[in-house]
Structures are given as structure tokens and as C-alpha cells.
Amino acid sequence: MRFLLVEDNAQLAKAVADRFALDGHAIDCATDLETARACIDTASYDLILLDIMLPDGDGRDFLKTHRGAAKRTPVIVLTARSEISDRVGLLDLGADDYITKPFDFSELEARCRAVLRRQGGTAQNTKTFAGVILDSMTGTLDTGSRVEALRNRELRLLEVFFASPGQIFAKSHLMDRLFSYSDDVSENAIEVYVGRLRKKLEGSSAKIETVRGLGYRIAESP
């Protein structure tokens, strides 16, 4: 997916871009509203992440003109302001959602996903492996013989496997992807989710293998 990040703090912008890159997303950064407008005119984005306090104006004005121009690209506001009245006002102005700085990246991702899903996403968000189709937008798994609904963590785990078939993922890496920093869980917790996915993949030619001592990978069963 392609994001536009409008944020004047270069360090934060870089950190967010790095973080998005880790999950394989492309992100363009604009440090002011003028650059942001130029970006929107030249490229198409799945989602805009918008800071409010910018050197050449207020992000809310940008939001107003953006909505006024009937552009459908969803906008999530990154706000440092914590006043509730502000947050309510943001949604009234046409923001699809907001997140307060500093934000939990997985929450930001979840909000992006929720916003895109609400939008009815035109972007192709399916990945296919060994005849199994994973639809990130609807959170469903099509094994060919049946369609399984995936819960959030199952979906996120499967996305990791589908992004790099055959690659072995350490348990600790998978845990980072699945659990938030405030969850204190043992590494065994991952086994629960792997177990559930195996059940849902039953009957297809895709399967999650345990690589003893190293972790898990998805492979095509012969």
C-alpha cells in the first residue's frame, strides 16, 4: 500500500517511514502542506496520514479543502492535541479517524485497515499461495473448497507468512508482529495461533511447518 505522511518533524517522519517499510508499505513524506498538495496531484495514495500543526498552515484547513474537492482518499489525523473537543471536531471536518501521538504502530495499522475496509477498498489486497487466497481487506481465507473468516491476529500472522513464502520466521519475530508491547505473553502463545491457522488451512495444499529450533514457515504440501 502507498501512504502519504504529512509531518513536519523530519525525525518522526523518517521513523514512521522506516516502520512502514518494515511491513513492506511504500510511504512518501511531505514536511508541509504545499508539498503535500503537490504529492496528491502527482501520485495516488491509499491513505493520507496528516499532522495538524504544520509550518505553513493548519492541517485542518488542508482536510477541509481535501474534502471540499470531493477526494475520497481516506485521511487519518495524527494529533498531539489531546483535547476531546479537538478530536470530535476532527471527525466533523471529515477525517476518517485520528490517532494521538505517540501512537502504537500496530494500532495505527489497525486503524488504517479499518478505514480502508470501511471505504470498501478498491485496492487489490489479496495474496495467493498454493491456491489459497488471503483477502486482507475482508479478513477471509479462501482454500478453494471453503471460505474461512479470520480473526485479527490470525489474519496478521498469515499475512506475515504469505508475504514471504518459504521464509522461516522465529517465534520472537512473530510475537512482535502479533502482540502489543503492553501484552506480557510467553513465546508459547504463538503456538495457539499457529494451531488455529493450521485448522483453517486444513484440506488445502498450504501448510504451516514447524522448523525445529528455528520457528515456522509456510510451505506447499506436495
Partner 1 sequence: MTPTLAKGSIRRRLVLQLAGIAALLSLALFLVVRAVAEHAAEETQDNILAASATSIADALYSERGFVRLELPYSALSMLGTISEDRVFYRVVVDDETLTGYDDLPAPEVWSDSRKNKFSTLSYRGETVRSVAVTRAVSTGSQITDVMVIVAQTRLGLEAISTRITATATAVGAGFFLVATALSLLAAQTALLPLNRLAQSVARRGMADLRPVVTETPAELIPLVQSLNSFMSRLRASLTRSEDFITEAAHRVRTPLATVRTQAEVVHRRQSGAADKKALREMIRAIDESSRSAGQLLDHAMVTFRTDHLETSDIDLGDMIRDICDRLFPTADLKDIQINLDCTDQPMPFSGDPILLQNALRNILDNAIKYSPADSVITVRLTANGSYLIEFADQGRGFGDADLTQIVGRFERGSNVGDIVGSGLGLTIADEVARAHGGKLEISENKGGQGACVTVVLPRS
Interface with partner 1 by CB under 8 A: which residues?
9, 11-12, 15-16, 18-19, 22, 53, 78, 80-85, 88, 97, 100-107, 110-111, 113-114, 151-153, 170, 172-173, 176, 180-184
* Shortest Å distance, C-beta 154 to partner 1: 8
Query: What's the min distance (Å) between Cβ of 5 and partner 1?
Result: 11
Dmax of the chain from CA atoms? 59
Least Å distance, CB 106 to partner 1, is 6
Q: Which residue has the cell 477471509?
A: 140
Q: What is the phi-psi region of residue 213: left when phi exceeds 0, alpha when psi lies from -120 to 50, beta otherwise?
A: left
Would you say 43 or 214 has its CB closer to partner 1? 214
Q: Which of 121, 70, 79 is nearest to 97 (CA)?
A: 79
Which cell is 218 given?
Answer: 509456510
To which residue does cell 498538495 refer? 37
In the complex, the smallest distance separating the C-beta of residue 12 from partner 1, rounded to whole angstroms, is 4
Q: Which residue, 179 or 220, is less far from partner 1 as judged by CB?
A: 179
Q: Which three cell numbers stand for residue 194?
A: 499457529
Among residues 134 and 139, whose Cβ is nearest to partner 1? 139
H-state helical runs in 58-170: 59-68, 84-93, 105-119, 152-163
| Structural contact between residues 162 and 129, judged by C-beta atoms closer than 8 angstroms | yes
Residue 111 or 129 with smaller CB distance to partner 1: 111
